[in-house]
A and B are shown apart, each in its own frame.
Chain A
Amino acid sequence: MATRKKSLLKVIILGDSSVGKTSLMNQYVNKRFSNQYKATIGADFCTKEVVVDDRVVTMQIWDTAGQERFQSLGVAFYRGADCCVLVYDVTAPNSFKNLDSWRDEFLIQASPRDPEHFPFVVLGNKVDLDNRQVSTRRAQQWCQSKNDIPYYETSAKEGINVEMAFQTIAKNALQQEAEAEIYNEFPDQIRLNSDRNNRPGNADNCQC
Chain B
Amino acid sequence: MSSWRESLNSIPGTVAAFVNESATTATNYLHLRPGTPTPTTSEESGPQHSDYKALPIPASLVKEQWRLIFTSDANVQDLQAAIAHCRDLVLLSDECSEERRWLVRHLVDLRYSLQELEEAQASSDGLVLVNAIKSVVGHHFVPFHVHARQRLAKRYCDHCTGIIWSVVQASYTCSDCGYLVHQKCIDSVVRVCAHVLVSERKYPIAEICPEIGLAAQHYKCAECATLLNFKNSWIEPRLCDYSGLYYCPSCHWNDFSIVPARIVHNWDFGARRVSRTALQEIKLFLDMPLIKLEDENPKLFVFVEKLCAVKKLRQNLEHMRHYLTACKQATDEKLIDAQLGGRRHLVQSKEFYALSDLMQVDSGTLADFLQAIFNAFDRHIRSCVLCVAKAYICEICGNNEVIFPFDDGCIKCDQCNSICHRVCMTRKNMICPKCVRIQERRLQVERAPSKNEKYNEDGDEADDAQEA
Contact B460 A79 (CB under 8 A): no
Interface check B455, CB cutoff 8 A? yes
- Determine if A111 is an interface residue (Cβ-Cβ < 8 Å): yes
0/1 interface trace, chain B 267-287, chain A, CB 8 Å (1 if under): 000000000000000000000
Contact yes or no, B459 A74, CB < 8 A: no
Whether B459 contacts A142 by the Cβ 8 Å rule is: yes
CB contact list, A94-139 vs B, under 8 A = 97, 100-101, 104-105, 108-109, 111, 138
- In the assembled complex, which residues on chain A have CB atoms less than 8 Å from the CB atom of B424? 208
A36-44, A155-163, A180-188, A192-200: which lies at the interface: A36-44
B391-404 CB mask vs A (1 if < 8 Å, else 0) is 11101011110111
Query: With A44-B386, A141-B456 known to touch, is A206 a contact of B397 (CB < 8 Å)?
Result: yes
B417 touches A (CB below 8 Å)? yes
Q: Which of A35-79 contact B (CB under 8 A)?
A: 41-45, 62, 70-77, 79
Q: 15 interchain pairs (CB within 8 A)?
A: A42-B327, A42-B386, A70-B326, A76-B390, A76-B392, A77-B389, A79-B393, A93-B452, A104-B463, A145-B456, A145-B459, A205-B398, A208-B397, A208-B423, A208-B424
Quick check: is A179 within 8 A (CB to CB) of the other chain?
Answer: no
- Given the known interface contacts A73-B322, A141-B456, the answer about A43 and B390 at a Cβ–Cβ threshold of 8 Å is yes
Inter-chain CA distance A109–B463, complex, in Å, is: 16
Within 414-468 of B, Cβ neighbours of A (below 8 Å) are at: 417-419, 423-424, 437, 441, 452, 455-456, 459-460, 462-463, 466
- Expressed in whole angstroms, the minimum distance between the Cβ of A62 and any Cβ of chain B is 8
Q: With A44-B386, A100-B463 given, is the CB distance from A204 to B322 under 8 Å?
A: no
CA distance A70 to B437 in the complex (A): 20
Whether B247 is near chain A, meaning CB under 8 Å from some CB there, is no
Please indicate the chain A residues that have their CB under 8 angstroms from the CB of B322 in the complex.
42, 72-73
Instruction: Report which of A43, A70, A75, A93 forms a contact with B392, defined as CB distance below 8 A.
Output: A75
Partner of B390, one of A42, A108, A109: A42
Q: Which residues of A contact B393 (CB under 8 A)?
A: 74, 76, 79, 109
- Smallest CB–CB gap between B450 and chain A, Å? 9
B206 within 8 A of A: no
CB distance from B236 to the nearest CB of A (A): 59
- Is there an interface contact between A206 and B391, defined as CB atoms closer than 8 Å? no
Q: A72-B322, A100-B463, A109-B395 are in contact. Are A43 and B389 (CB under 8 A)?
A: yes
Complex: how many Å from CA A27 to CA B418?
A: 32
A residues in contact with B397, CB < 8 Å: 206, 208
Q: Is B265 an interface residue (CB 8 A)?
A: no
In the A-B complex, the 6 residue pairs with the smallest Cβ-Cβ separation, listed nearest first, are A42-B326, A74-B392, A77-B389, A73-B390, A76-B391, A41-B326
Q: Given A41-B325, A42-B390, A76-B389, is A204 in contact with B398 using a C-beta cutoff of 8 Å? A: yes
Given the complex, which residues of A lie within 8 Å of B462, measured CB to CB? 100
- Cβ B323 vs Cβ A73 within 8 A: yes
A79 surroundings in chain B (CB, below 8 A): 393, 400
* B459 in complex: contacting residue of A71, A75, A100, CB < 8 Å: A100
Query: Cβ of B308 < 8 Å from any Cβ of A?
Result: no
Question: B154 to chain A: closest CB distance in Å?
Answer: 56
For A93, the chain B residues whose CB sits under 8 A away are 452
Query: A111 with B398: in contact, given A73-B323, A76-B392, A76-B393 (CB under 8 Å)?
Result: yes
A118 CB → nearest B CB, Å = 13
Which residues of chain B are near A142, meaning CB under 8 Å?
456, 459
Count CB-based A-B contacts (< 8 Å).
81
- Count of residues in B whose CB is under 8 Å from the partner chain: 36
List 15 extra interface pairs beyond A100-B459, A100-B463, CB under 8 A: A42-B326, A44-B328, A45-B386, A73-B326, A73-B390, A74-B404, A76-B392, A79-B393, A97-B455, A104-B437, A138-B456, A142-B456, A204-B398, A206-B398, A208-B423
The interface centre, meaning the residue of B388, B390, B395, B400 with most chain A CB atoms within 10 A of its CB, is B390
- Bound together, the chains give a CA A204 to CA B403 distance in angstroms of 19
Chain A residues within an 8 Å CB radius of B419: 74
Q: Is the CB of A101 within 8 A of B441?
A: yes
Q: In the complex, what residue of chain B is closest to A42 when comparing beta carbons?
A: B326
- B403 to chain A: which residues have CB within 8 Å? 74
CA distance A101 to B466 in the complex (A): 12
Which residues of chain A come closer than 8 Å to B392, judged between CB atoms? 74-76
CB–CB A76/B402 < 8 A: yes
Q: How far is the CB of A122 from chain B (nearest CB, A)?
A: 13
Min CB distance B416 to A, Å, is: 10
Contacts of A62 in B (CB 8 A): 389
Within 8 A of A (CB), among B317-360: 322-323, 325-328
Q: Give the CA-CA distance A42 to B459 in the complex, in Å.
A: 28
> Complex: how many Å from CA A205 to CA B399?
6
Q: How far is the CA of A174 from the CA of B414 in the complex (A)?
A: 39
Q: Is B390 within 8 A of A74, CB to CB?
A: yes
The interface bits of chain B over 373-414 (1 if a CB of A lies within 8 angstroms of the residue's CB, else 0) are 000000000000010111111010111101110000000000
Contacts of B327 in A (CB 8 A): 42
B residues less than 8 Å from A44 (CB atoms): 328, 386
Asked whether A72 and B417 contact (CB < 8 A) given A79-B393, A101-B441, A108-B395, the answer is yes
CA distance A109 to B397 in the complex (A): 12
Give Cα distance in the complex from A35 to B328, angstroms.
23
Cβ of B455 to closest chain A Cβ, rounded Å: 7
User: A206 CA to B423 CA in the complex, in Å?
Assistant: 14
CB of B378 to closest CB in A, whole Å: 16
Give the docked Cα–Cα distance between A206 and B404 (Å).
Answer: 20
Are the C-beta atoms of A208 and B463 separated by less than 8 Å? Answer: no
Using CB atoms, name the residue of chain A closest to B466: A104
In the assembly, what is the distance between CA of A142 and CA of B454, in Å?
11
The smallest beta-carbon distance between B241 and chain A, in angstroms, is 44
A105 to B466 Cα, complex, angstroms? 12
A77 in contact with B455 (CB, 8 Å): no
Complex-state Cα separation, A97 to B459, whole angstroms: 9
> Which one of A43, A76, A93, A142 has the highest number of Cβ atoms from chain B below 10 Å of its Cβ?
A76
Query: Which residues of chain B are within 8 angstroms of A206 by Cβ–Cβ distance?
Result: 397-399
Determine the distance from Cα of A71 to Cα of B325 in the docked complex, in whole angstroms: 13
Whole-angstrom distance between the Cβ of A91 and the nearest chain B Cβ: 15
